[in-house]
Structure 1
Amino acid sequence: MSSRSPSAPDAADAPPLGTSDVKDRAQRSIIALGLRTLGSLGLRVVSSLALSHLLFPGDYGAFAIVAFTAAMGAFLGDLGLSASLVRQQHEPTQDEISTAFWSHQAFTVLIVGVILLLAPWLSRSYELGPSGAAMVSVMALGLFFHSLRVIPIMVLERQLRFPALARIELIEGIAQTATTIFLAWMHCGAWSLIGGGLVRGGLGMVMFWAAAGWRPRGAFRWDIVKRLLSFGIWFQLTGIIPAALQGWIPLVVGRMEGKDAVGLVNWASALASVPLALSSVLTRVAYPAYSRMQQDTEALSEYLRTSIRRVSALLCLAIPFGVIALPPFIPVVFGERWSLASALVQWFTIEASMQAVQGLLHSQQHASGHAKERMYVAITASVLRFGLGALAVMHWGIVGVGVSATAVTLTELWVTARLVSRRNPRLSRLEFEVMEPFLTVGALLALALGLSRLAMGQGGLLVQALVAAGVLTALVLAREASRRGLSLLGELRALVQQLRARRAPP
């Protein structure tokens, strides 16, 4: 008797999707994930407001260091086998899926064992305190929640069943937020962040298995592992190496500025990640969608261009005003203890907006089989972040993290767009279309902030923000009237019309 759910067919039994089916499912998936993202952002607001008064920078600093170790373990335990199954043209067989599943578990057992052995050393090296080794160990054991969900998520993503994923992830978020706030209220410190993550992982694992309806039934085969690794290892290295090099933040900042400074950087990064919520929605849908559309280069090129134009328009119209509002907003809402991170949040927000567009380009590189090319760019950018970031911290303190990261991400965005455009003649001048709105609106933002500070002198932060917002509005409208570059308002109107057309009755 099969354990499969009638409403959730195995990946091996799913019918092939045509280009029109892929586009339709992708659009429905973006809407579903977008609604989930709005719910997640609401939960993040509630969590940030509560935890900013219950926890301290040192708690975030300790968690950031421990979470970095766990994140590296998660990357190493995957090796991109599931990504290879999502990308391949034929539907995965039961042997392929089961081989990937058991490989993930074996890799995870090895990684968890190594982390458990290193836990005391990691605790001493990063000065995590008497409970540091226990925190590292618990986070390491939590990696099994990640490894056991990888294949069920792959099954759902390959079938573009993102509405089901969205529902599960929203429930996960609610459970994590409630648990974290409760534990913080109980004065658990960094353990509250760890506990919330573990509850999310365990609950989500159960729900993903139920939704996918898949059970391991095929045979394990080494030839499948070797074939999947030929692409998967390069795909996964693009995440592993940057994540490893990202460890310079707790290492360098912790040594130079202390654990509290690491907490401020981690908190600022989390608060500034709103644009990345949009990026995660688009990137998750884009990779399987682009993979299914590789044979139709004309449709794929137009789909990629349209996605980039509309995402850029949304971000360039919204993010600059958010950057202006942050200095008066943070101390009032979150408390004075976090005001030192205001400038850092501004830089991270600008960087995150560029990463949102970069995610679409990364998806196209991976879907077209150029993961090795993507890896080289990611390594170079990560090395630059490490080197320039360390120098910037020496000269400007923690704000230097944001300045250097933004400069490197801007350069990486141009290089990635250039590589993608060279691979497809239908994407000529893509790098100009990608860079122009960020460069022009970024220059207008800098001008508006500079003029507001000159005009107001030592005026309050709120007054400066209001003046800067007014100046920026006038400058953006002047840019739109000049009809040079991407029409931000025109793309926004086109997006609204598309959404209305989908909601209109047939």
Structure 2
Amino acid sequence: MAVIKPSITTVAFDVITQSPSLILRLRKSLDLCSAQQTVYLSDGKAKSRIDSSMQLIHALKWSFLSEIASKAIQPIVFVILARLLTPEDYGIVAAASMVISFSQIFWEAGTSKALIQYQGDRNEAANAAFWINITLGILVSSALLALSNLISENIFHDPRVELVIDVLTLQVMLSALTSVHIALLQKDMQFKHLFWVRLVTVAIPAIISIPLAWHGKGYWALISGTLVGQLMQVLIIWQISYWKPVVGIDINIVKQLSNFGGWVATTGLLSWFYIWADSLIIGLYLGSHELGLYRTGNAIVTMIYGCIFGPLMPVLYSHFSEIQTDRERVRTTLFKVIQIITFLSIPMAVFLFTNASFISNALFSEKWKGIELVISVMALMHGYSWIIGANGEAYRAVGAPANETITMSLTLVFYIVGYFLSIQHGLQAFIWTRLALALAACGAHLWVAKRVVNLNIIPTVTYVAKISLVCLPLVAIAHALQWSNIASYETKNILIDIILLFISLWAVERRGLIQTTLTLVAKRHLK
């Protein structure tokens, strides 16, 4: 019989990821443990579960620090570059990045996700994945160089895009050299190592791009920073990684990785259309200037949400893969994750929507006129889209990536039709249509989660509706205060929004997530 001391991190993880009934049992257990300070386990499985929870929280801490560090640098760099460059500069880079991102689907082929999920010989699997990526990277790079002229002239109608695509082709091979190493670090939950890699490779592009932009190099400042940062990532990853490739591959493992990776790659292709199809259509119909406005405004919102929720995804996938055989545990974990994301993402969306004018005036100059609308509507779109952000990680972890692929295929049809119809009426109509389509897609993904992991839809929708009803009326209140001149300055509006959101959320969740968090903090101090 093993004896271990109770850990607040273990309890915190279970509160986040387990069902309410289990939370209640854990609270009672904690009360008993406060006197004895020991927990007796009768089998190794329970101990393994706590060890798994501890490992997850440790990984989540470093993953979160990685995102915080990178996002602390990126907004500063972004603001400086936005004042030195034009929407057109960003539009040209966005067009080329769109193509490079599309190519990643074919050279990466889902092997990284397959490697993380693979339960056999890790070294043999890693070696197979590495040589698959290198081979496909060479083929894809050659295709990009051959087609760059055709793409720039017939799709983006801008000859400057051709040379940018040619130069950024180097990024394909640099990424192929590190994708397997990064997947192995994620599989082992070695996010502490990834933290330092992310920190260095985010800081170095800033050192390169800002001086070049200051000296009038335009979009080449962005490109140079990207390539130097990618090169540094290769050097650091190969230095710290314990694994190195060897010549030769196991054909059977290649087949296994390809079967799983094929679905992941197909999902990646569909994800590309979700991420880039809107930009592609804007660039095709409206030009580089509007594309720069849209991509940059969307990037601001993406950075904000990515800083909060980005660290969760790689850690959740690794954890879901670890508990994939326990479907009930996967279900309860996913439900609790959705609750926490909803509690944070919808209030953030409302706050950004009501204060988009202040953000655009603070960050951008007059040449960026029109970006306020993009920021405000995209804030709502991302806020609700993130509610189902962890669903795909759960599907892939339990070995059912096809479900996400099929769902995205069906909903993508409506996205494309909506994009083409709305773009005929200009950028404003397009942006609002983008929001409406995202809301409809959330419902489809919740239905799929019900089928795959038996997620309870009614409690999930009820919780989303509750938080929405609390937050959305604050939009009208904030505007009413502004119109009545009670808050004459935008900074006062921001303060009022924060206070109103805090009071409303406290009133709704004081006996839910907030009470649970405070209980944990209190127990930790008492201990």
- For residue 463 of structure 1, report the CA deviation from its aligned partner: 4.9
- The match for 1:269 among 292, 295, 298 is 298
Matching residue of 1:12: none
- For residue 86 of structure 1, report the CA deviation from its aligned partner: 0.8
Matching residue of 1:494: 516
Could you tell me whether the CA contact under 8 Å between 2:95 and 2:161 is conserved in 1?
no
Matching residue of 1:10: none
Matching residue of 2:334: 304
Give the Cα–Cα distance (whole angstroms) in 2 for the partners of residues 312 and 385 of structure 1.
23
Counterparts in 2 of 1:456 and 1:410: CA distance versus 1, 3 Å: same
Q: Output aligned runs, 1:319-330, within 5 Å.
A: 319-330=349-360
Counterparts in 2 of 1:19 and 1:80: CA distance versus 1, 3 Å: farther
1:258 matched to 2:283? The reply is: no
Matching residue of 1:345: 375
Give the Cα–Cα distance (whole angstroms) in 1 for the partners of residues 301 and 82 of structure 2.
15
- The match for 1:38 among 50, 54, 68 is 68
Matching residue of 2:99: 69
Counterparts in 2 of 1:239 and 1:411: CA distance versus 1, 3 Å: same
1:111 matched to 2:140? The reply is: yes
Give the Cα–Cα distance (whole angstroms) in 1 for the partners of residues 451 and 156 of structure 2.
48
- The match for 2:395 among 354, 361, 365 is 365
How large is the RMSD of aligned CA atoms in angstroms? 3.0
Matching residue of 1:285: 315
Partner amino acid for 1:490? G
- The match for 2:474 among 444, 448, 451 is 448
Matching residue of 2:190: 161
Matching residue of 2:450: 421
Counterparts in 2 of 1:127 and 1:453: CA distance versus 1, 3 Å: same
- For residue 467 of structure 1, report the CA deviation from its aligned partner: 5.6
1:377 matched to 2:399? The reply is: no
Gaps of 5+ in 1: 1-15
- For residue 372 of structure 1, report the CA deviation from its aligned partner: 0.8
Counterparts in 2 of 1:500 and 1:408: CA distance versus 1, 3 Å: farther
- For residue 116 of structure 1, report the CA deviation from its aligned partner: 0.3
SS in 1 for 2:390: helix
In terms of mean alpha carbon deviation, does 470-479 or 115-124 score higher?
470-479
Could you tell me whether the CA contact under 8 Å between 1:73 and 1:140 is conserved in 2?
no
Could you tell me whether the CA contact under 8 Å between 1:381 and 1:409 is conserved in 2?
no
Could you tell me whether the CA contact under 8 Å between 1:449 and 1:468 is conserved in 2?
no
Which string of whole-angstrom CA distances, capped at 9 and with x for unpartnered residues, describes residues 266-325 of structure 1? 101110111133332111111111001112334333332332222222223433223212
Could you tell me whether the CA contact under 8 Å between 2:137 and 2:173 is conserved in 1?
yes
Could you tell me the TM-score, scaled by structure 1's length? 0.86
- The match for 1:189 among 186, 193, 218 is 218
Give the Cα–Cα distance (whole angstroms) in 2 for the partners of residues 334 and 489 of structure 1.
41
Matching residue of 2:33: none
1:435 matched to 2:461? The reply is: yes
Matching residue of 2:269: 240
- For residue 465 of structure 1, report the CA deviation from its aligned partner: 8.1
Could you tell me whether the CA contact under 8 Å between 2:330 and 2:394 is conserved in 1?
no
Identity of aligned residues (%): 19
Partner amino acid for 2:260? F
Give the Cα–Cα distance (whole angstroms) in 1 for the partners of residues 131 and 402 of structure 2.
25
Gaps of 5+ in 2: 1-44
Partner amino acid for 2:440? T
Which string of whole-angstrom CA distances, capped at 9 and with x for unpartnered residues, describes residues 475-495 of structure 1? 8746764x5xxx378314534
Give the Cα–Cα distance (whole angstroms) in 2 for the partners of residues 383 and 277 of structure 1.
30
Could you tell me whether the CA contact under 8 Å between 1:245 and 1:386 is conserved in 2?
no
Counterparts in 2 of 1:71 and 1:498: CA distance versus 1, 3 Å: farther
Matching residue of 2:246: 217
- For residue 496 of structure 1, report the CA deviation from its aligned partner: 5.7
SS in 2 for 1:187: coil
Partner amino acid for 1:307? V
Which string of whole-angstrom CA distances, capped at 9 and with x for unpartnered residues, describes residues 14-70 of structure 1? xx9943333212111211121222222221221122011100000011011000000
Partner amino acid for 2:100? A
- For residue 221 of structure 1, report the CA deviation from its aligned partner: 2.7
Matching residue of 2:200: 171
Give the Cα–Cα distance (whole angstroms) in 1 for the partners of residues 429 and 495 of structure 2.
25
- For residue 200 of structure 1, report the CA deviation from its aligned partner: 1.4
Could you tell me whether the CA contact under 8 Å between 2:350 and 2:472 is conserved in 1?
no
Could you tell me the TM-score, scaled by structure 2's length? 0.83
In terms of mean alpha carbon deviation, does 69-78 or 405-414 score higher?
405-414
In terms of mean alpha carbon deviation, does 32-41 or 359-368 score higher?
32-41
Could you tell me whether the CA contact under 8 Å between 2:103 and 2:140 is conserved in 1?
yes
Give the Cα–Cα distance (whole angstroms) in 1 for the partners of residues 274 and 164 of structure 2.
22
Could you tell me whether the CA contact under 8 Å between 1:96 and 1:218 is conserved in 2?
no
- The match for 2:166 among 134, 137, 141 is 137
Could you tell me whether the CA contact under 8 Å between 1:294 and 1:367 is conserved in 2?
yes
Which string of whole-angstrom CA distances, capped at 9 and with x for unpartnered residues, describes residues 419-476 of structure 1? 2233345x4x2x3344344444445554333455466559799657856974785587
Counterparts in 2 of 1:495 and 1:174: CA distance versus 1, 3 Å: farther
Q: Output aligned runs, 1:199-210, within 5 Å.
A: 199-210=228-239
Could you tell me whether the CA contact under 8 Å between 2:66 and 2:311 is conserved in 1?
no
Which string of whole-angstrom CA distances, capped at 9 and with x for unpartnered residues, describes residues 98-150 of structure 1? 11110111111111111100111122224565543221111112211111111
SS in 2 for 1:216: coil
Give the Cα–Cα distance (whole angstroms) in 2 for the partners of residues 141 and 460 of structure 1.
55
SS in 2 for 1:26: helix
Partner amino acid for 1:435? V
Matching residue of 2:364: 334
